[in-house]
Amino acid sequence: MKILVLNAGSSSQKSCLYALDSLPSHPPEPIWKADIDWYAKPDSGLLTVKARGVKQSIPVSASDRILGIECMLKSLVEGETRVLESLAEISIVGHRVVHGGIEYSTAIGIAPEVKETIKALIPLAPNHNPAHIEGIEAIERILGDVPQIAVFDTAFHRSIPPASSLYPIPYEWAEQGIRRYGFHGTSHQYCSRQAADILDRPIESLKTIVAHLGNGASLSAVRGGVCIDTTMGFTPLEGLMMGTRSGSIDPAILIYLQQEWAFTPEKLNTLLNKESGLKGVSGISADMRTVILAMQEGDERSKLAFDMYIHRLKSCLGSMLASLEGLDALVFTAGVGENSAIVRERACQGWDFLGLQLDKEKNESHPVDTDISTAESKVRILVIHTEEDWAIARECWQYAKFSGSL
Ligand SMILES: Nc1ncnc2c1ncn2[C@@H]1O[C@H](COP(=O)(O)OP(=O)(O)O)[C@@H](O)[C@H]1O
Ligand SMILES: CC(=O)OP(=O)(O)O
Ligand SMILES: [Mg+2]
């Protein structure tokens, strides 16, 4: 079975193709991978395709994204990256969908009403849900009625109990859907299961915190495989300090900026989502690598941005720890979590009273899917390569199996 996965972000469209005869226990390599960076150049995007040992870069239009996605799919059947005779060989398409609202707690086939719900949720995920709709409509146009599945970032967090999923605001607002949804759920779920596998312990016995630190960043508290708390909220803006997002700030700042500085909601949205976080504080970059380099070269604002990032990460770790009332494993994942030894080191400092001890050497040895705590540590510290695309493909496989199309 050929499963195509589309993972649309605000600034990129990632995609991969899996060819499966059976469901493997470990993530297989996709046979084709593509990535469109819509902002690669001021006037055009850049498509990068990797397949059959070849890497190709092709400029694509950024003003008509559906055309760009068409170009990406053509590379499956044409040229040096060709891996299919025809696009009709694709049996099913899985989409990462960031916001599923209160409506969806599992993956679901994309019927017209599902598409309408994803559209209706655009105000709650303005940087993500429009891109998912583009991806779904591009597939409809190019592949006709191939089954499409939505796998929601919010689904894994539906188990969070009301004491942590509701805000202390007029209760009627909660009844209208203003509550914590949480995001990156596919990654949190995959990593918490993988942690149990690596530790060779039943997931039911584990209290785990997953730190998904990418461009967007969130923590989850997982008890016995069930999510009980997370740092992102009604939208992916709450919680940790991120690349370009502020994370949590006093809500009265927004009232002040509107009343005293005449900021419009649109302006606030752009400034808090795209011009804050590491980028806003350092004034240099949203990319943790660049901020660390500048800090090491003596740039004061980059040092401040880094210190704030760590402070907020540790505060939120404390909050997840309180929800779990204990901790067996702390997992680092996503771009920053998997690659930055200094972020892991600083995040793990000061928890001696918990018996949490990082092994410095292991931490600096580019660890993947491994334990980086000392033998004496009472809490295991793991680095896990997140496999959101594979988790989505697996959902597609299961959906196809149970719907009888396998
Ligand atoms: N070696 C590294 N050190 C620090 N940060 C890194 C490193 N490699 C990647 N990153 C960070 O990872 C981020 C991207 O993470 P990723 O999980 O791919 O994000 P997303 O899926 O949200 O786009 C980049 O912005 C970069 O800051
Ligand atoms: C929900 C979210 O923040 O996603 P990403 O990290 O991909 O931007
Ligand atoms: Mg990501």
Tens-place pLDDT, residues 211-251: 999 989 999 999 999 999 999 999 999 999 999 999 999 99
Known binding residue 287? Answer is yes
Per DSSP, the residues of 218-237 read: EEEEEETTEEEEES--SSTT
The residue to mutate among 13, 35, 98, having the most atoms of ligand 2 within 8 angstroms of its beta carbon, is 98
Cβ of 9 below 6 Å from ligand 2 = yes
Q: How confident is the model at residue 62 (pLDDT cuts 50, 70, 90)?
A: confident
How far apart CA 213 and CA 335 sit, in angstroms, is 6
250 is catalytic: no
Q: Are 199 and 380 in contact (CB under 8 A)?
A: yes
Residue whose CA is at the smallest distance from ligand 2 atom 2: 216
Alpha helices, DSSP H only, in 261-298?
265-274, 277-282, 288-296
Amino acid, single-letter form, for residue 397: W
Q: Are 101 and 124 in contact (CB under 8 A)?
A: yes
Between the CA of 144 and the centroid of ligand 1 the distance, in Å, is: 35
Q: 358 phi and psi, to 5 degrees? A: -85, 140
Q: How confident is the model at residue 406 (pLDDT cuts 50, 70, 90)?
A: low
Amino acid, single-letter form, for residue 90: I
Which residues have a Cβ under 8 Å from the Cβ of 201 and sit 6 or more positions away? 328
pTM: predicted TM-score of the whole model, two decimal places:
0.95
Q: Is 8 helix (H, G, I), strand (E, B) or coil?
A: strand
Give how far Cα 20 sits from Cα of 3, 45, 89, 219, 393, Å: 8, 31, 12, 32, 10
Nearest in space to 150 (alpha carbons), one of 106, 99, 103, 108: 108
Amino acid, single-letter form, for residue 32: W
Nearest in space to 313 (alpha carbons), one of 293, 288, 289: 288
Structure confidence by residue, pLDDT tens digits, 130-167: 999 999 999 999 999 999 999 999 999 999 999 999 99
Q: How confident is the model at residue 43 (pLDDT cuts 50, 70, 90)?
A: confident
Which residue in this structure is represented by tokens 């002040």? 256
Give how far Cα 338 sits from Cα of 144, 236, 264, 363, Å: 38, 20, 37, 10
Torsion of CA 240, 242, 248, 253, to 10 degrees: 160
User: Does pLDDT of 398 surpass 60?
Assistant: yes
Q: Are 248 and 227 in contact (CB under 8 A)?
A: no
Q: How confident is the model at residue 42 (pLDDT cuts 50, 70, 90)?
A: confident
Cβ of 183 below 6 Å from ligand 2 = yes
How far apart CA 277 and CA 65 sit, in angstroms, is 27
Amino acid, single-letter form, for residue 277: G
Q: How confident is the model at residue 277 (pLDDT cuts 50, 70, 90)?
A: very high
Q: Is 19 helix (H, G, I), strand (E, B) or coil?
A: strand
Average pLDDT (188-203) is 98
Query: Which one of the listed residues 37, 64, 153, 229 is annotated catalytic?
Result: 153
Cβ of 238 below 6 Å from ligand 2 = no
How far apart CA 305 and CA 6 sit, in angstroms, is 32
Cβ of 239 below 6 Å from ligand 2 = no
Torsion of CA 292, 293, 297, 302, to 10 degrees: -40
Amino acid, single-letter form, for residue 61: S
Q: Are 324 and 228 in contact (CB under 8 A)?
A: yes
Please report the ipTM that was assigned to this predicted complex. 0.98
Q: Give the pLDDT of residue 405.
A: 61
